[in-house]
A and B are shown apart, each in its own frame.
Chain A
């Protein structure tokens, strides 16, 4: 009897585990499992105990909405400016619209207001965003040459792909891993293994890299010189030419669409600031920011971060800390207030 009960208990437990991993919706809605990013995204990949830290919530940088009610701010950005890190209340503008680089949004500009667009990108994904036309915002009531109605064949193909993806969703393994081994109790085993591998085999998870003194951890994508996104992967002049023309084209396009100002902000990679000696640095940020052909005004954080490298990034994460974020926000708010930016 006991065996029978145990059998069904295990069966139902396994079915539940499978179901929550199989369905991203169930995974999110159960709320039973701890946030796997709670100790930082680099810790989440490496499980090295020396890089375990709880990211703190930053206080809002604005106390009052002074004279800025006349400004609407739009940001096309990445994880540095997503809601978990930057909120509407951090800006002096009255209205704030954010869209991720991977998404597209239809917007309608209020032409009675001053409309500002910020193109924010971290250095490692800069190439992806500016090697092709920027088309994340589509202005309503304006003809959009990019939208061509798809054929029924294409629609059918998309629908089938959608159904297949629903039936066989991606990320099952990852969700299971986080479900089963993400509680603090299991993290200690993972930490032990990671520490052991580093100590004896001098080996860490492939997706991360350590600085020479092993005091800082980086995302491999930005630090591994073999990765095309890396700060140490050579960038040819022809590529720079393409980026410059794409940046200028984006500015012209959005100014024509009704924006009053368009700015570019490249957030430097953590490795470019803290360990530029880890390889042959390609100086991508400087080469764009100092290129006289770039017509788009630049919001420069690179120079500030370089002055005091250790102050602006989280130990356990690829992203900036509150100080780094505040440097950037201060510059944006100066623009909103129509003041001069350093």
Chain B
């Protein structure tokens, strides 16, 4: 079910009002049932995969707690292998097969591995990582094993964050499912406002910018540098509004029911370095990789060059997590490369580092933005060839070129105004204050009118659903 659909609107009203009409036992049952329905609307049969993961990790958690010594490690490994195994099979099997076949072709081996006709279950990477964080935390002793199967299932399946995060930690949410929250009007207002803002970002900004991006990226060879530059600039904001919009709706809908989920975005385009960008962008994923991959690899306690390798490796894997395409691997690797380059610059060429004054900060901010934008080209392009074509054309663009877009001048101008409005809003009012009820109603009305009249409703999926 898409957050930007009427179906979700009705679903949300029923689930939320039903939730507040029931006792604790009724609430978790309703949420679990609603989450199953929410997931099964996409493709019902894939609930079986989710159920399989839940059962494995539920029992793994209990056994991990009961067991001591080497056996614990084995239990954790089995649990991780089963989770990663599902992920690899559905997400990476065809990617691996195609690459192996390609290598076979190069070395003239006649063998040809079969490519399977499989569809990626929606949000698989998200709920697999969330499930893995549970068993790892139980193994580390930071989290008690959950004995209540329904509550554990809800931890993996909680509908607001089931298909596109935030990727939660058991310490943050499991106890909340055991709590019978008291209704809080302030939380409701705040949650609803988050949802409205998220929906605005998705349907008014992201889906409008998407028209330009899709048009230009469909066949980049046909377009000039200026068109591709504008499209890439728009995509930088499209993906932010799309994904952070989803996260806002997720956090808001959970908040209305009393739950506090972890923050996923903190104005990432105001970052003054790549490392800062990753502390502000998709926070739940970057901290997941930090806690469960980077630190186990040695973190900062290893030799300098090993640390660089670890950082690069983590970013490369993070790219691969997004999709089974070389473009995603390059995107992740580019970020790793940026990060290492910045560290090396600070160490060996400290004079190149800019002073921390307004001018220095502005240059750093713009440089970071441009570097992130360049990397997005790989993220969005249909393949490495397209990405390189786009970058080549952008690098030689001139203002004398004619801009080709499916939007007319008025709508292009309107799109730019929306981007400026977004930047202004994020800078001045990161959180919208809803304490004043009249202000809340007024703003809700404004958002409703804006979303209805300026929203682009083409039932566009959220970009991150595919991961």
Contact = CB atoms under 8 A, between A and B. Distances in A.
Interface of A: 7-8, 10-11, 14-15, 17-18, 21, 164, 167-168, 172-173, 176-177, 180, 189, 192-193, 196, 200-203, 206
B453 interface: yes
Contact of A168 (B17, B21, B41, B410): B41
17 contacts: A7-B21, A8-B17, A10-B17, A11-B13, A14-B10, A14-B13, A18-B14, A21-B10, A164-B44, A168-B40, A168-B44, A172-B41, A173-B6, A176-B6, A177-B6, A196-B453, A201-B410
Contacts of B414: 201
Interface string B428-465: 00000000000000000000000011000011000000
Contacts of B452: 189, 193
B298 interface: no
B467 interface: no
A180 B17 CA distance: 20
Given A7-B17, A11-B17, A206-B458, A173 B7 contact: yes
A180 B14 contact: no
Contacts of B41: 168, 172
A93 B100 CA distance: 66
Contacts of A17: 10
Nearest to A165: B44
A180 B6 contact: yes
A203 B405 CA distance: 12
Interface string B27-42: 0000000000000110
Given A18-B10, A168-B41, A189-B452, A173 B5 contact: yes
Question: A-B pairs with the 10 shortest C-beta distances?
Answer: A201-B411, A11-B17, A14-B13, A176-B6, A202-B408, A14-B14, A18-B10, A173-B7, A200-B410, A172-B7
A164 to B, nearest CB: 5
A220 to B, nearest CB: 13
Given A164-B45, A173-B5, A201-B408, A15 B458 contact: no
B167 to A, nearest CB: 27
Nearest to B37: A168
B7 A176 contact: yes
B141 interface: no
By DSSP majority rule, is chain A's interface helix, strand, loop, or mixed? Answer: helix
B456 to A, nearest CB: 9
Nearest to B5: A173
Most chain A CB atoms below 10 A, which of B6, B44, B410, B452: B6
Interface residues on B, range: 20 to 34
Interface of B: 5-7, 10-11, 13-14, 17-18, 20-21, 40-41, 44-45, 407-408, 410-411, 414, 452-453, 458-459
Most chain A CB atoms below 10 A, which of B5, B7, B18, B407: B7
By DSSP majority rule, is chain B's interface helix, strand, loop, or mixed? Answer: helix
Contacts of A14: 10, 13-14, 17
Contact of B20 (A7, A18, A200): A7
Contacts of B45: 164
A15 B13 CA distance: 9
Most chain A CB atoms below 10 A, which of B17, B453, B459: B17
B407 A201 contact: yes
A189 B45 CA distance: 39
A172 B8 CA distance: 11
Given A164-B44, A168-B40, A10 B13 contact: yes
Given A11-B18, A14-B13, A201-B411, 10 more contacts: A7-B21, A8-B21, A10-B13, A18-B11, A21-B7, A167-B44, A168-B40, A172-B7, A193-B452, A193-B453
A7 B407 CA distance: 43
A7 B17 CA distance: 7
Contacts of A203: 407-408, 411
Given A7-B20, A201-B407, A206-B458, A176 B10 contact: yes
Nearest to A205: B458
A172 B42 CA distance: 12
A173 B458 CA distance: 12
Nearest to A192: B453
Nearest to B408: A202
Nearest to A10: B17
A200 B20 CA distance: 44
A8 B20 CA distance: 10
Nearest to A179: B6
Nearest to A11: B17
Contacts of A200: 410-411
Nearest to A201: B411
Contacts of A18: 10-11, 14
Contacts of B18: 11
Nearest to A167: B44
B455 to A, nearest CB: 9
Contacts of A176: 6-7, 10
Nearest to B13: A14
Nearest to B45: A164
Nearest to A14: B13
A172 B37 CA distance: 13
Nearest to B411: A201
A244 to B, nearest CB: 34
Contacts of B453: 192-193, 196
A108 to B, nearest CB: 40
Contacts of B21: 7-8, 11
A18 B13 CA distance: 10
Contacts of B13: 10-11, 14
Given A167-B44, A168-B44, A173-B459, A11 B410 contact: no
Nearest to A206: B458
Nearest to B407: A201
Contacts of B7: 21, 172-173, 176
B277 to A, nearest CB: 33
Contacts of B6: 173, 176-177, 180
Contacts of B411: 200-203
Contacts of B17: 7-8, 10-11, 14
Contacts of B40: 167-168
Contacts of A189: 452
A196 B455 CA distance: 12
Contacts of A202: 408, 410-411
